[in-house]
């Protein structure tokens, strides 16, 4: 009986050992975690940008500046470059966002080519001319067209206000450099003297080189209860005040900037009646701000076209405004009949001095 008990005990022991050896091994948390990481989408993008392309852009800007009678400095995060009183290196170090046409946008300042952001706008190069008051941001975003932003407005609480540049030559040059192609200047800087660049304004005005300020939505004759105006791509024609040529504010030269800063000897008499235009977005509207070419103070005039529902029909209405609060002056309509009917109307989204 004792021998039988020993045999049974040994047999049970072998059975239990065999069962334990056949239990599946649990998957470690390390393996599962590694698998999850491997399938997680990366927030990093390899940009179509490198040191050679950065050098090509630097060379281009050295030639582009003199052509525009400007002098651009390359900006980086280590050098304290001042622009309109703002230290741009601190903007980059603090990763401060910018606004594009009034909309706040997060940016990735001067990333390495292999560390571009998939979600943010990558600012790969920055050039500034503080004297001329112009700042260019050269930007890239994955699967998007290269974009050149410009800022000429004073920073708001250290935030740069930008819009896309109207300079087609600069946009084409940057796109070519990004694509690895040569970028050619409109003319050789060494062959263009300052007198040739600052030729008489009458000749300059006759050349079809000005960027269009007022797009198609603005162009045409507009009527109010008390008058009318005609807007073309580069002018405002008003029977009361005559014809005012209007050009992009970026076309101001170094001499123009010097005149704005008080050097009257740099003023071109032929430009005194010109308007300097700046485009921006606010309150869901696309605005054109027009100041005198040599106007150094004051808000100037503001123009925006908004589609309104009038009598069950969609009708474009031209709003004109002025002052620091962009207070509405008058609304203009496509026909005199509409102007007579709705001319005194102030719409809910319009600002008035009394509403402040």
Could you read off the pLDDT of 17-57 as tens digits, one per residue? Answer: 444 445 555 544 444 444 444 555 566 778 899 999 999 99
Count CB atoms within 10 A of the CB of residue 33: 10
Place of tokens 């908004």: 306
Asked if 249 and 166 count as a contact pair (C-beta separation under 8 A), the reply is no
Cα separation, 141 vs 119, in Å, equals: 8
Tokens, residue 322: 């002025």
CA angle at 96 for the pair 90 and 100, rounded to the nearest 5°: 125
- What is the rounded distance in angstroms from the CA atom of residue 41 to the CA atom of residue 29? 20
Q: Classify residue 157 by its DSSP letter.
A: T
pLDDT number for residue 41 = 56
How far apart are the C-alpha atoms of 241 and 255, rounded to whole Å? 27
Chain centroid offset of residue 29 CA: 47
Residue 338 has a pLDDT of 95
Are 86 and 157 within 8 A, CB to CB?
no
Residue 317: count other Cβ atoms within 10 Å of its Cβ.
21
Which residues neighbour 95 within 8 Å (Cβ) at sequence distance 6 or greater?
107, 109
CB 61 within 8 A of CB 67: no
pLDDT at 356: 52
CA 116 to chain centre: 19
User: Which pLDDT score is estimated for 330?
Assistant: 93
CA dist., res. 68 & res. 197, Å (int): 8
* Digit-coded pLDDT (tens) for 145-171: 899 999 877 777 788 989 898 888 899
Which residues are within 8 A (CB) of 261 and not within 5 positions of it... i.e. 6 or more apart?
A: 296
Q: Which residues of the chain have pLDDT under 50?
A: 1-21, 27-37, 188-208
d(CA 222, CA 317): 9
Dist. CA 46–CA 14, nearest whole Å:
60
What is the predicted pLDDT for the residue at 222?
A: 94
Give dist(CA 343, CA 337) in Å, integer: 9
Residue 174: per-residue pLDDT = 96
DSSP 126: E
């Amino acid at each position: 009986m004792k021998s039988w008990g020993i045999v049974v005990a040994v047999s049970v022991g072998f059975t239990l050992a065999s069962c334990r050896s056949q239990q599946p091994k649990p998957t470690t948390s390390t393996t599962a975690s590694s698998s999850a990481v491997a399938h997680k989408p990366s927030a990093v993008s390899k940009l179509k940008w490198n040191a050679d392309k950065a050098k090509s852009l630097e060379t281009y800007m050295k030639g582009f500046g003199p052509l525009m009678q400007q002098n651009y400095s390359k900006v980086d995060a280590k050098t304290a470059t001042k622009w309109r009183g703002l230290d741009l290196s601190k903007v980059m170090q603090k990763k401060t966002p910018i606004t594009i046409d009034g909309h706040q946008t997060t940016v990735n300042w001067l990333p390495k080519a292999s560390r571009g952001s998939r979600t943010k706008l990558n600012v790969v190069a920055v050039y500034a001319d503080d004297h001329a008051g112009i700042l260019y941001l050269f930007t890239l975003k994955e699967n998007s067209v290269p974009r050149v932003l410009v800022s000429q407005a004073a920073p708001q609480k250290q935030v740069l206000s930008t819009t896309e540049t109207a300079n087609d030559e600069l946009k084409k040059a940057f796109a070519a450099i990004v694509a690895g192609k040569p970028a050619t200047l409109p003319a050789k800087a060494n062959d263009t003297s300052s007198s040739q660049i600052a030729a008489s304004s009458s000749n300059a005005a006759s050349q079809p080189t000005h960027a269009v300020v007022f797009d198609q939505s603005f162009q045409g004759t507009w009527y109010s209860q008390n008058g009318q105006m005609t807007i073309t791509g580069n002018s405002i024609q008003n029977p009361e005040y005559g014809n005012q040529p209007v050009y992009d504010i970026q076309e101001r030269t170094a001499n123009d900037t010097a005149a704005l800063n008080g050097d009257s000897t740099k003023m071109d008499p032929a430009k005194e009646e010109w308007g300097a235009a700046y485009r921006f977005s606010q309150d869901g509207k696309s605005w054109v701000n027009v100041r005198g070419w040599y106007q150094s103070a004051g808000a100037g005039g503001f123009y925006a076209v908004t589609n309104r529902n009038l009598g069950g029909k969609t009708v474009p209405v031209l709003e004109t405004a002025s002052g620091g609060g962009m207070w509405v002056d008058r609304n203009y309509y496509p026909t005199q009949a509409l102007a007579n009917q709705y001319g005194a109307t102030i719409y809910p989204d319009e600002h008035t001095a009394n509403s402040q």
